[in-house]
Every structure is written in C-alpha cells, then in structure tokens.
Structure 1
Amino acid sequence: MEKVLILVIDGCAPAYLTEQTAPKLFALARQRGFVKTVRCAMPSVTNVNHACILSGRWPAETGVVGNYYYDPNTGCEGFIEERGYMRAPTILQRCQQAGGKTALFTVKGKVLGVYGAGADIGLSAQDPDPVLLRRYGLDWPPTIQSIEATDWIVRAACRCIEREDPDLVYCTTNDYIFHHFAPGSEPARAQIAAVDDCLAQLAASQPHRQIYITADHGMNQKKTILNFQAMADRAGLRTYCLPPLKDRYIENHIYQEGGMLYVFLKEPLQREAFLNFAQSCPQVEEVLTAAQAAARYHLPQDQIGDYVLLAGRDCAFGEVEGELLCTEASRSHGSEYEREIPLLALGALRPEKAYRYHKDIAAYLQF
C-alpha cells in the first residue's frame, strides 16, 4: 500500500511558500518532485476545501459549501463543526477500508470534528487527546493562535509517522499568522521555516513516502469591509445574507469578512429589485444567480441561496458596525482572488502537468 503524507498549510498563498522561505523542501522538489501553483475550490474557505482535498471531488459532490449553514425552510443556522455534512467518501475512509492505517492531525478542532471519520488516529491541538500526547511523547500544545502551533502539529504528525508508520497521514495548520502577517514578514517566514525543517528531515528518513504540501486557500489584504445585510435591510429588501467564511475563529477574521456571499431572498417578488440593488453596489464585483454560481464553481445549487455575490480583490463582505468599514487591519479570503495556492510534491503519482487543483492529489491516490 502507498505511504502518503498530505500537509495543508492553512491560508498559504504562493508568496508564502518560496525557495527563500523553504530552501530544503525546494531542493528536494528539484531532485524528486515539483513545485507549482494550482487552484482551490470556491468559495475559498477552509471547510469547503478540506472536503475537496480529502475526497478529490468538487463541492457539488461533497455537499460542503461553507463553514456555516442556513436552512431557509426551518430558519436553522449554525457552525459546521461535526460530522454529518460531508457527503463524499474521503481518502481516509478509502484507505481504512482497504486495510490501511490512517491519521488526521489538525490545529483547528473542527477539522477533526467534520472529517474525522476514517481516521484511526486523530489529534487536535485545540482539544488534544492526553492519551495520544503520552503515546508520542508530546508536550501540551501551544495556543492555536501562534507560530508554535504549526511547528507542534507538524512535529506531532512526523512523530506518529516515525513511531507507527501509518499509510496515510493528513495534517493541517491554522491560518492565524497569515491572517495577520503578509508574505516576507518574520512571523510568516518563521511558520514556513518550521515546516521546512521538519518535513525535510522526514523526507530524508522516508524517501518512499509521497509528500504533498498545499493549502486550502490563499490570503489577501481587504481594505473595505461591506455589511451587505445592513445595506439590504435599509433598502427594504428582505434577505438572509450568509458569508460562507463565517466560523468560531474570530481571532482570524474579526469581522467574519470574506469575498463571497450567499443571499437568500425571503420575498420572491423582490428578485428584480434585489438584482438592481446588488449590481449598483460598487464593492460588488459580480452578481450570479444560484444556477450560474453552481455551474461555474461546481456547487450544489440548492444550498447557496438565490444569489451569490463576489467582492473585488481588496473588498470583503463582513459583519461590521454600520454599512462600510475602511481598514488596514484585515487579511482574509473567500473570493476568486484567493484561489491560487502552492503545491509542492515529492514522489507524486502523476507528472506535474496532471495537477491543476489541490483536489487532484486525492483523485489520483490508489486507495
């Protein structure tokens, strides 16, 4: 059976992972792999893209369209943090069913909660299992809003590989640092350096193991935050506006700001009025019907409202006081502009040109 490690560096735009920040891994890639830029799924948010990476499928098949849900029929809404939302089988489940041993290591607890089915070993830095800490000789994890959290979770995964040699290991970090620091900054460089050191050692000791390093989404500065719900309310439009980026990690995006918005119309007769209003908003780059968005982004049409709004490169939809906030303090994602992500592969199954999206990693694995 194949031996595989997939590391997802949360929020890692290509500018963060470079030959200057990860010289050891880039040197290895020249010898037995490649580095390229690929694309993630839309919306470019965490839950959506872990579902794609873990299954090799688009959101239309996974059924995961955000970090938050809203049911217009019942009015129920909430954070997606537990099992039951993922419709497609994951490579963890496929590997386990084939008789392989699997492990899932994550900084954010929700990743284990939503995608933990099929993991023989599961460890979260947010809510660590003391039994596994003792088993791998690990110290109590640092706060998840730290550079050290990345180093801790990656080393935990490597410790597991060294001691138990599972067939498939999926490991992911937290994007707290990238939400607050641009490429080239010392905190951002330190986060990548931790990955470079640890995985270069692992690759040297386990040359037979396929190693894939990618991201769930990229990251950009957002200078204008738009409270579209407040604007629609003022215009007399009855809507429910859902930013698919919304989650409990408020320290990452304090305004729940993201580049895509699902809009549910509560009054069908307002469809034309809403369309005219949304298209007249300068911060809204494009207005798509649910059918258009589903076709373009491979989304399940019945889960994304009536309209899907896209913000410009330096804009985001968020939950701010009033209707508009101009700021220099926001770095976020969710839009088309955060779709480009890195892929560094060692021992990949297919040639470089075969990988266009991060989901292709799982699509080609033979579990």
Structure 2
Amino acid sequence: MKRRKILILCIDAGSHDYLAASDLPTLQKLAKAGFYRHANAVIPSVTNVNNVSIATGTFPETHGITTNYHVDRATNKGEFIEDNRFLLAPTLFEIAKASKFADKTALFVTKKKLLRMLETGTDIAVAAENPPSEYIQMAGEVEPIYSIEINWWLLRAVRETLRRDDPEFVYCSTTDWVQHKYAPDADPSQRHLAILDQIIGEIVDADPGREIYITADHGMLAKTTALDPGHLLTEQGIPASAIPIIKDRYIAHHGNLGGAAYVFLKNRADTPKAIETLLSTPGIEEAYAAEDAACTFRLHRERIGDIFVLADKTTVFGELETAVEPTSVRSHGSRHESYVPIIGYNSPWSATDFEYNLDIGRLFLESLR
C-alpha cells in the first residue's frame, strides 16, 4: 500500500487578494489538479490563534490559545504566549506519531515563538529566526526576521529536508512582514510569492505523490484609525483597560495595532453599559460579553477578557496615549481579515469538506481514527 505523506503550508497573511494579484503557476497547477476553497480563519484572525488551530485541528475552546498576549485575571499581569505552557490540546505531530501514521514528523516556522508552542511530537523542528547550523548549510545563511528573504530560506529548508529525510508529516508556517509592509499589487509582495511558488514547485516535482495543503492564518488590510477601547471607556466613566490581541514582540510588523481586542473592566457589572458605549463608537463593529464571545467564536472562556471587540475594515485597536489616533499601518485581527484560501492537492477530500483553515488538521485527525 502506498505510504501517505502530508505537507501543510500556512502562508502567513496569504489571503485571496495576495494570491490573485501574483503570477503563481505552481499554486494554479495544484488548485487545478486538486481544489481551491474560499474558507474562514478563526477569529481573532491572528498568528497564534490560527496556527495552533490548524496544528491541533481544533478551535480555541479546546486548545486554549485565544491571543498573542495573555492577561492573568487573578494578578492582572500579562505575558506573551511564546511556548506550550498554555496549550491544552495535543499537536498533530503527537497524534501522527502515537497513531503510527508517521515515523518522522517535521515543523518549520519563521518565528521562534511558534516553534516553542508547537514542537511537541516533532522529530525535526526548525525556526528560520534561529536555525541549527546544519540547516544553514542546507538552505544558506540566516536572513533577518524583518525581510522578504527569510520565508524563501524557510521553504528551501523544507525542500532540502523533504529530499534528505522524507518525513511523513510536515507543517510549515511563514511570517507576514512583507504583507504588513506592502499591498498585494506591490512589487515586493509579488516577488515574495513568486519565489515561494517556485520553491513549492520544486517540492512537488521531487515528490509528486505527497498530499499538500496550502492555506493562510489571516489576511491583511490597510488601516487609518487607531482606537484604545479601555481609554475610551474610562473617559466615559467606565474604568477599563484593553489589550490588542495581536500584541507580541514583533512590533516592526504592526506596532501592536490590530483589529481585535479584549477589554478588562474594573467592575464586570458595567458590561452592558460598556458594550453599548463601544458599539456606539465609530470604528467598532462588534462587541461581545465574554460568554457570548466564547460561544460565537468558540473561544476558551477562561482565556479571554470581559468583552471581545472587533474593528471595522479601516480601524485597529492599541494601547494609546489618547482614545483615538490617526494611523497608517497594514494589519489584521478583525472579521475582515478572516477569509483565507485552502488549496488541496492529492487530497482524499473535496473542497466542500473545508469550512475553516483548521479543517485541514481536523480531517487529518479524523482519518486516523
């Protein structure tokens, strides 16, 4: 019986508009031979939440990762989520090994934080931000984290590892510095994707029978207004603070400005009044009490704020000096950046089997039962 082998590639911010604006013959070939599906990302549409959802095949209500930055309500202290201490579900790597699907698994990511979050169950785990020396020999000199070239390095490392080690299960996730800086029709965006497409073509040519799934964790849009929901509520006599869910250490990407935030109230009895105030504010499109947010978006109830807010298409949330400020940034996090593609090649499933990007992981897990 033919051995089943899988490669899942998450192109960070690789949404429909970016793919459509570029000449990508390999992706077009894979979609024609398999399928191309317009699907959904998990909301909030940020890196941690969606990569973990794909790599566990579950929603945040199960795996526990609801943000890039966690606030402990007991102490009111916050910390970046950069390892697996907060992860509540097994990874696809763990289950692939335990079920005997894979003798060898591999994880390739650009950011170190994703490596530490997802590496359990891997035989090979590489972050382009700080790779082992043997992979520098394989894929070339290390590139800066804030560069186009680092994603090319990552895909070269995947290509060479597939040739050398032939792992049965591989997950790869790039970074989105390019999309944060450039629109889909900009030359750097198109060069970035063209080289990725070329390397993917080389991977397919070397192993044409491998199952390949290509998706994104979120999209990316230009923003012109920044709001601080906590500041806004406090000015209206409702003491509160707010954390943008996008908040991480990679501030050159987005300045910690994103389209979703958790609001923490000094007095939770203020929730109805706070939601009414937020929804009357231009730029805020949706606001949910914690229980409603957990139910609507399948979030872990103990890992979110008192209120979950989503911005409109041109607005982001941040921790600001004033309640409202003009801005000029490309970012994500809201419902507007939650629409992503799924390309499937050599897949046993059809396009209609996929509603969310995480269904790639979910269907794989179901196939092992």
Deviation at 1:120, TM superposition (A): 0.7
For the 8 Å contact 1:104–1:122, the answer to whether it is kept is yes
Structure with the bigger percentage of helix:
2
**Counterpart Cα distance in 2 of 1:271 and 1:185:** 43
Superposed CA deviations along residues 224-281 of structure 1, whole A, max 9, x for unmatched, are 1112222223333222312111110001111x11111111212234334423322321
Q: Which residues of 2 match residues 76-95 of structure 1 at below 5 A? A: 76-95=77-96
Range with bigger deviation, 54-63 or 269-278: 269-278
For the 8 Å contact 1:19–1:26, the answer to whether it is kept is no
Give the letter aligned to residue 178 of structure 1: Q
For the 8 Å contact 1:218–1:340, the answer to whether it is kept is yes
Equivalence for 1:121: 124
Equivalence for 2:111: 108
Matched, 1:8 2:7: no
For the 8 Å contact 1:221–1:314, the answer to whether it is kept is yes
For the 8 Å contact 2:230–2:239, the answer to whether it is kept is no
For the 8 Å contact 2:30–2:344, the answer to whether it is kept is no
Matched, 1:353 2:363: no
Give the letter aligned to residue 314 of structure 2: D
**Structure 1 vs Structure 2 CA RMSD:** 1.6
Equivalence for 1:148: 149
For the 8 Å contact 2:57–2:359, the answer to whether it is kept is yes
Give the letter aligned to residue 316 of structure 1: V
**Counterpart Cα distance in 2 of 1:204 and 1:322:** 54
For the 8 Å contact 2:230–2:263, the answer to whether it is kept is no
Matched, 1:298 2:298: yes
Q: Secondary structure at the match of 2:113?
A: helix
**Counterpart Cα distance in 1 of 2:110 and 2:163:** 20
For the 8 Å contact 2:54–2:359, the answer to whether it is kept is yes
For the 8 Å contact 1:41–1:339, the answer to whether it is kept is yes
Q: Identity rate of aligned residues, in percent? A: 35
For the 8 Å contact 1:150–1:194, the answer to whether it is kept is no
For the 8 Å contact 1:259–1:310, the answer to whether it is kept is yes
Deviation at 1:21, TM superposition (A): 2.4
For the 8 Å contact 1:39–1:340, the answer to whether it is kept is yes
TM-score, normalised via structure 2 length: 0.94
**Counterpart Cα distance in 1 of 2:304 and 2:10:** 26
Range with bigger deviation, 57-66 or 300-309: 300-309
Deviation at 1:107, TM superposition (A): 0.8
Q: Secondary structure at the match of 1:295?
A: helix
Deviation at 1:20, TM superposition (A): 4.2
**Counterpart Cα distance in 2 of 1:349 and 1:243:** 39
Q: Which runs of 5+ in 2 are unaligned?
A: none
TM-score, normalised via structure 1 length: 0.94
Q: Secondary structure at the match of 1:281?
A: coil
For the 8 Å contact 1:258–1:333, the answer to whether it is kept is yes
Give the letter aligned to residue 59 of structure 1: P
Deviation at 1:2, TM superposition (A): 2.0
Deviation at 1:19, TM superposition (A): 7.8
Equivalence for 1:174: 175
Equivalence for 1:267: 267
Q: Secondary structure at the match of 1:223?
A: strand
Give the letter aligned to residue 218 of structure 1: G
Give the letter aligned to residue 126 of structure 2: L
**Counterpart Cα distance in 2 of 1:132 and 1:195:** 18
Q: Which residues of 2 match residues 202-241 of structure 1 at below 5 A? A: 202-241=203-242
Superposed CA deviations along residues 77-97 of structure 1, whole A, max 9, x for unmatched, are 110001111111111111122
Matched, 1:289 2:289: yes
**Counterpart Cα distance in 2 of 1:263 and 1:78:** 16
Aligned residues: 362
Equivalence for 2:19: 17
